[in-house]
């Protein structure tokens, strides 16, 4: 039996003249947390909507739990929890009414877990949703998404617009959700530190393409930032395989690279360059190197 929860093969999607997804292939396995990162309009939400079956694959294939989510929505959605960035909830309901309404759709609803989360977040069941703050609405929506202990939890910008305390509460709840054996989380976030803290696996989408898809451990091990000094000044960094980006002038340069420090040193030697200092690159530095500064500017907006 395969441990693949999501399998996407050669998926493309176009809206008018805009290609939201371009031949995307992606798999998510049981028990892992996948951080989905990209600039605004990169294709993250479009990908999530295909997993939910809200969009039909016009080119390529999408399978969730081995089923097409458009053709078999009942079998697929019963095991999915979903929290959207908009967190649209019926204002006329109370929190308790929303929980009872949501419970009706999920045979595996765990009321004791829902009550525990309500207590953790300090939410009063009889309070009307229209009277909730943005953070409280997010917490309420999260409870509705996770109380049935879904096999797959999809979070689209779960921390958007929330303060640090609420973000921490939500992340802790997510961690608990995935601590149960075999549960999987796919979440998109513009907060790179959040991705780094929570993810086992990082997927970066840029202009409809997946440009990075690897375990966080492997990403950290294979991306480095090095300070380099040359004997003679350079107007531009000499071309070297494995260099993702560079910044500097004259004799001093900063290089982001997918080489080991030793490999970079060997490539620098013919150009009379040496490494002064080297360390693992942060996710922000990696994304800037791979997608350009526009990524950080857009996702931080």
* φ, ψ of residue 31 in degrees (nearest 5): 75, 15
Say what the pLDDT of residue 29 is: 93
Say what the pLDDT of residue 297 is: 40
- Per-residue model confidence as pLDDT tens digits over 232-243: 999 999 889 899
> What distance in Å separates the CA atoms of residue 187 and residue 195, rounded to the nearest whole number?
9
Say what the pLDDT of residue 251 is: 94
For residues 289 and 169, the model is more confident at 289
Residue 1 has pLDDT above 50, yes or no: no
Instruction: Give the three-state DSSP class for 207.
Output: coil
Say what the pLDDT of residue 287 is: 86
> What distance in Å separates the CA atoms of residue 47 and residue 26, rounded to the nearest whole number?
10
Query: Mean per-residue pLDDT for 22-32?
Result: 92
Helix segments in 122-181, DSSP class H: 134-146, 164-179
Say what the pLDDT of residue 154 is: 93
Instruction: Give the three-state DSSP class for 141.
Output: helix
Residue 246 has pLDDT above 60, yes or no: yes
Query: Mean per-residue pLDDT for 53-75?
Result: 94
> What distance in Å separates the CA atoms of residue 88 and residue 301, rounded to the nearest whole number?
22
Least confidently predicted of 43-52, 120-129, 151-160 = 151-160
- Per-residue model confidence as pLDDT tens digits over 263-299: 999 999 999 999 999 999 998 888 888 876 444 444 4
Domains assigned to the chain: 4-215 (3.40.50.300), 224-280 (no CATH)
pTM of the model: 0.88
> What distance in Å separates the CA atoms of residue 256 and residue 82, rounded to the nearest whole number?
36
Query: Mean per-residue pLDDT for 170-192?
Result: 78
Sign, Cα dihedral of 150, 152, 154, 159:
positive
Say if residues 27 and 8 touch (Cβ distance below 8 Å): yes
Residue 86 has pLDDT above 90, yes or no: no
Say what the pLDDT of residue 160 is: 74
Query: Mean per-residue pLDDT for 58-66?
Result: 94
Query: Mean per-residue pLDDT for 146-152?
Result: 93
- Per-residue model confidence as pLDDT tens digits over 153-162: 999 888 777 7
- Per-residue model confidence as pLDDT tens digits over 212-225: 899 999 998 899 99
* φ, ψ of residue 118 in degrees (nearest 5): -60, -45
Mean pLDDT score of the chain, rounded to an integer? 88
Query: Mean per-residue pLDDT for 143-163?
Result: 87
Say what the pLDDT of residue 179 is: 60
For residues 152 and 168, the model is more confident at 152
Residues of the chain with pLDDT > 90, as a percent, come to 59
């Amino acid at each position: 039996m395969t441990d693949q929860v999501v399998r996407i093969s050669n998926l493309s999607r176009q809206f008018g003249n805009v290609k939201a997804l371009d031949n995307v292939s992606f798999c998510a396995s049981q028990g892992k947390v996948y951080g989905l990162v990209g600039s605004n309009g990169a294709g993250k939400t479009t990908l999530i909507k295909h997993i939910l079956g809200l969009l039909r694959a016009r080119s390529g294939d999408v399978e969730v739990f081995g089923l097409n989510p458009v053709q078999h929505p009942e079998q697929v959605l019963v095991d999915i929890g979903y929290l959207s960035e908009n967190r649209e909830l019926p204002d006329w309901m109370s929190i308790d009414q929303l929980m009872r309404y949501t419970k009706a759709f999920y045979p595996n609803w765990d009321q004791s877990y829902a009550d525990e989360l309500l207590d953790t977040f300090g939410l009063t069941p009889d309070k009307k949703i229209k009277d909730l703050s943005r953070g409280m609405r997010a917490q309420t929506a999260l409870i509705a998404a996770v109380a049935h202990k879904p096999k797959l939890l999809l979070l689209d910008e779960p921390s958007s617009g929330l303060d640090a305390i609420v973000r921490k509460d939500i992340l802790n709840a997510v961690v608990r959700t995935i601590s149960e054996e075999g549960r999987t989380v796919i979440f998109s976030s513009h907060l790179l530190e959040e991705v780094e803290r929570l993810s086992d696996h990082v997927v970066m989408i840029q202009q409809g393409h997946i440009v990075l898809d690897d375990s966080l451990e492997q990403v950290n091990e294979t991306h480095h930032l090095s300070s380099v000094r040359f004997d003679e000044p350079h107007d531009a960094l000499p071309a070297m395989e494995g260099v993702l980006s560079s910044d500097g002038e004259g004799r001093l340069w900063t290089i982001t690279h997918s080489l080991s420090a030793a490999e970079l040193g060997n490539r620098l030697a013919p150009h009379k360059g040496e490494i002064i200092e080297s360390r693992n690159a942060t996710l922000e530095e990696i994304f800037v190197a791979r997608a350009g500064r526009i990524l950080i500017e857009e996702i931080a907006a």
